[in-house]
Structure 1
Amino acid sequence: MAKKQLNVRVDAATAEMARERAEQQGISMNQYIERLVRQDMGETGRLFVDAAAQFMKEYESTFLAEFGDGLQDVRR
């Protein structure tokens, strides 16, 4: 994914808190801010749901073979 540079201004205390949190997590300030924005946008949850849906699509026949048509109600 291509990166785009953003310039933001925050007060000194906020900048220091962000630096400290990034350091505590062992990541760069850029990674920390990107993580915050992704969390705010619900990206992690959306990616999980998308992956789960893809998994079920790929393995639907396997589940049907194992559990039968009882899954029809679950898929609705």
Structure 2
Amino acid sequence: MSRTQLNVRASQAAVAAETARRRRATMTHSLDERAEPDTRDAGRAFVEAAADFMQRYESVFAEEFGTERVER
């Protein structure tokens, strides 16, 4: 099983601990549930920024590397 390190504020940890206690779940599971939306949002923002970057610099890449695609 992989390990994940989460850095959370004490107030978030307290909420997670209370949620875990009410659900009879582990603290780790409760913290993971709280972090999941943030992770999803960060991933979406990264992909959007990468797409924007590629679109802005498409002509520079085409000039430098050409327009032919390499088959893998």
TM-score normalised according to structure 2 size: 0.47
* Bigger share in helix: 1
Q: Pick 1 or 2: higher relative contact order, CA cutoff 8 A, min separation 6.
A: 2
TM-score normalised according to structure 1 size: 0.45
